[in-house]
Amino acid sequence: MLKTAVVMMTKLPIPGFCKNRLHEVLEAYESAEFQRLCIKDLTAMVLESELPLYIYYASPDAYKLGDHVLEVSYIPQKGEDLGERMYHAVQQTLLQYEAVIVIGSDLPDLELRIVYKAVQDLEQSDMVLGPCYDGGYYLLGTKAAHPEIFAGISWGSPQVLDQTLDKAKKSGLSLRLLETRRDIDTWYDIVDYYDRNTGVNRTDTCVYTEQLIKKYGYSGRGDRDAVKNKSVTWRGGCSK
């Protein structure tokens, strides 16, 4: 097996700095707590795999990391945009390892089997991508730091995956795709996460999500269309 490390790219769980698209429904401190638990759950998953983990974090200017440090290596991100920051993290990690698996913190129920599959697929291909339903990707695996893969990408848009695939093809890189998953950016994504984990995966994140779901009045799958159509109406159901 390739000597592989996992890199998590994430924002620190600071109110007003992370998960801002959830603020349609959640308070800033609630979004930050959700972010903190996402990082915690994913860290536990990676440590269970026994693969080394490096967390590359973004934070507001002059912010000190402080109490957020866990039993892993925290490294500040460097670069002007997400592409530059990912490229720097990949480049640095490959100085010590034969392969790197890059994940975000938006998919707290990412399973070990998917990480293992990515490592396995890298034995036979140059890159591995885990597609998201929104047009992005939740995982990138590579054995070399290909700068063209991270440059000129419309980060945050539905074109991220297609643009990355196109660049890989033009560079002659062999590539394998993992199963498509839904990451968590919006309140509708939280509802989907809750529905698919209820009674199955009682992680810290799922327990907290259940509390939020109850707080904001979600009553089951029948309400999902209402959430999809106008999530801001959920604030009206809040009782503090």
Closest by Cα among 133, 131, 153 to 141 = 131
Report yes or no: 12 and 18 within 8 Å, Cβ to Cβ.
Answer: yes
Tell me, what CATH number does 134's domain have? 3.90.550.10
Q: Nearest 5°: phi and psi at 51?
A: -85, 145
DSSP string, 135-147: SSEEEEEESS--H
CB-based burial label for 227 (10 Å; 0-12, 13-18, 19+): buried
The answer to the question of residue 9 being in a domain is yes
Same domain flag for 108 and 197: no
Q: What is the chain's pLDDT, residue by residue, as a tens digit (240 residues)?
A: 899 999 999 999 999 999 999 998 999 999 999 999 999 999 999 999 999 999 999 988 756 665 445 568 889 999 999 999 999 999 999 999 999 999 999 999 999 999 999 999 999 999 999 999 999 999 999 999 999 999 999 999 999 999 999 999 999 999 999 999 999 999 989 988 988 888 777 789 999 999 998 888 776 655 555 554 444 444 444 333
Domain residues for 84?
4-177
Q: Give yes or no: residues 144 and 45 share one domain.
A: yes
Final residue belonging to a domain, choices 137, 159, 177 = 177
Residue 182 forms part of a structural domain: no
Residue 47 placed within a domain: yes
What is the predicted pLDDT for the residue at 197?
Answer: 87
pLDDT of residue 199: 76
Rounded CA gap, 72 and 103, in Å?
15
In a domain, 127, yes or no: yes
Report which of 6, 30, 8 is spatially closest to residue 18, judged by C-alpha positions: 30
What pLDDT is attached to residue 71?
Answer: 65
> Which pLDDT score, from 0 to 100, does residue 62 have?
55
Q: pLDDT value at position 201? A: 72
* pLDDT at residue number 239: 35
